[in-house]
A and B are shown apart, each in its own frame.
Chain A
């Protein structure tokens, strides 16, 4: 031992610092985004691309200070992560989400010239970034606080309704709202079509997928062929598949009158549904098959030993135990189908994709948003709802 070791060392003992790095970084990112990216844009009419404005221009210094304060508070809370602080952060996030439409109202009041009836307010990059990062924060907080998937869903639903109210009452300067008001009837119809297409495609593929999975369990040889075929189908680009179906279906409609009477044609619902089902089958069949095969052999052996018949073993033991994994399959399938259905608009099947492609054609980004946002929201709702259902069906409530 040297003399140095014996000397009292200056003590720099500090409490170890264990911030929640994820939330800290996200808070910093939001602060940076709010200051550096464009807050809103203002355009004199629908086609001309707008002029971007920063946060200070849009909501003035007091507004910018409030926003910065909220993000700094989040960063401070995340540097000492306790369950109380997490809850406080959840509160701040909800507050920010609720304040967001008011920011737009203020910006609209300051920046949009009331004498121009066509003038409109676009949502800037800062807004989208903050919204996206806030959702990431919610995911992190949900995991940290151990909340079920229902909580954020309910929360977001509440926020969504608040936004809807603001948009309907005060935000008529917002480009998105103007696009919506211009085609309100068309919008609801498109949402209905979209849901109907997804519902039919997922419904059919759930039934077909279960049948196929059960057949595959019985005939092992079928398994390889079916998976190869379904994997191959999955690799065809969706647009190409829609195109490929055009010719044969048009021929069928022309030559087989009963099919034509049923509404089958080269474009429209028939090819859209066929393609959607073809894509949905792989995740559905794969999950169903794995779900059914994964059930513990020991449990099934016990069921047999207790004197359960084949049908009883399937419906009372194998199927209920497979159900949570099976529902995961339905969830993946449904979310995938909601996205794919957008493309179906190209072959005349309608749905929310119509706005996306029309908007792209007219270079009107806000119209694209009018189609894309509801698709996103629909996907989030279905994802959370089916996920929570699968959780609730886990054996004995949890595992």
Chain B
């Protein structure tokens, strides 16, 4: 678990980060979002003491980070950066095995771990182990970067715009893989990005920053439903907000049981999002969909009215809470 309370950072007279209070529970994915220069990367780097904070407390697993040896602290925190920061003079296997080597694992264990991680990240050992970073594509290099961060199996992962330099298709693919990886590994992740869609897609907890301060934080859905101010709202996409919210909601959570009327022609799998359901209605010119399970067996139905109303209901319940 990572806790920041009233953390500030001054560089000379400039205040980069001011009074940040933030809690990332174990196994949660926290995204720091904001425009460039808003202090999100600084916040991230204070956690592994690449930058020392000026005031406030940063507590890791119940202990203030000043009490850790910075080197040992960094070895138990995985770190991924945008331009990968791979060592150009080492091959892929050596890059991935760095932290285990620093921790003096036996050679056979390091080799086994490196090969395991390369498998997990879809880098065939025979093809990639002996390649050098300059021989890799951006996406491959970033996979190596993630593998290196995971090598010593740290509980905490800090990621600083890891997919920022990739083309949209590769970026989306790596986002999906990270989501899958996280569902399996349950690391505590702090993820810095300026891409709100990426944050909405991956995060359990969203923190919007501006000018070194936290403007708003909460679950993605909560932010979408009630942005604190016009800045957050514009960051969330203004009018697109409704659709983004729909994208975070599953069909199965809002379907009704099959009614007495004839089932609708169009069918949608239960784990699709409401956004996809809306799109299907627009495409097929209908206001009702049949919800099916993985075996294509109808299990419920979803109407346009229901989607619109559900959104309303969420809003009401939020306000009451």
Contacts and interface: CB of A to CB of B under 8 A. Distances in A.
B is bound to A: yes
B74 A317 contact: no
B79 A306 contact: yes
B74 A396 contact: no
Contacts of B133: 396
Contacts of A298: 81, 83, 85
Contacts of A303: 87
Interface string A26-42: 00000000000000000
Interface in B126-165: 132-135, 148
Contact of B81 (A305, A308, A397): A305
Contacts of A309: 71
B48 interface: yes
B98 A306 contact: yes
A299 B134 CA distance: 13
B233 to A, nearest CB: 34
Contacts of A307: 71-75, 99, 102
B89 A320 contact: yes
Q: Pick from A309, A396, A398, A399 the residue with the most CB of B within 10 Å.
A: A396
B50 interface: yes
B88 A399 contact: yes
Interface in B114-135: 132-135
Nearest to A308: B102
A60 interface: no
Contacts of A45: none
Interface string A298-341: 11011111111100100001001100000000000000000000
B135 A396 contact: yes
Interface string B241-272: 00000000000000000000000000000000
B99 A396 contact: no
B85 to A, nearest CB: 3
B50 A396 contact: no
Interface of A: 298-299, 301-309, 312, 317, 320-321, 395-399
Contacts of B83: 298
Contacts of B75: 306-307
B91 A396 contact: yes
Nearest to A316: B87
Given A299-B87, A304-B74, 16 more contacts: A301-B50, A302-B79, A302-B84, A302-B85, A303-B87, A304-B50, A305-B48, A306-B79, A306-B98, A307-B71, A308-B71, A308-B102, A317-B87, A395-B88, A395-B132, A395-B134
**CB-CB nearest 9 A-B residue pairs:** A302-B85, A396-B132, A307-B75, A395-B89, A307-B74, A395-B88, A305-B79, A307-B71, A320-B89
Contacts of A396: 88-89, 91, 132-135
B99 to A, nearest CB: 6
B74 A306 contact: yes
Interface of B: 48, 50, 71-75, 79, 81, 83-89, 91, 98-99, 102, 132-135, 148
Nearest to A309: B71
15 contacts: A299-B86, A299-B87, A299-B88, A302-B86, A305-B79, A305-B81, A306-B98, A306-B102, A308-B71, A308-B98, A308-B102, A395-B88, A396-B132, A396-B135, A399-B88
A298 to B, nearest CB: 5
A122 B69 CA distance: 75
B76 to A, nearest CB: 8
Contacts of B148: 306
B132 to A, nearest CB: 3
Contact of A306 (B91, B99, B132): B99
A320 to B, nearest CB: 5
Contacts of B50: 301, 304-305
B79 A397 contact: no
Contacts of B71: 307-309
Contacts of B86: 299, 302
B84 to A, nearest CB: 8
Nearest to A398: B134
Contacts of A301: 50, 81, 85
Contacts of A305: 48, 50, 74, 79, 81, 85
A397 B99 CA distance: 24
A296 B88 CA distance: 10
Contacts of A397: 132
A320 B88 CA distance: 10
Given A307-B75, A312-B102, A302 B88 contact: no
B153 to A, nearest CB: 14
B310 to A, nearest CB: 44
A298 B41 CA distance: 14
Contacts of B99: 306-307
Contacts of A321: 88-89
Contacts of B84: 302
Contacts of A317: 87
B2 to A, nearest CB: 16
Given A307-B99, A321-B89, A302 B81 contact: yes
B98 to A, nearest CB: 5
A302 B162 CA distance: 13
Contacts of B135: 396
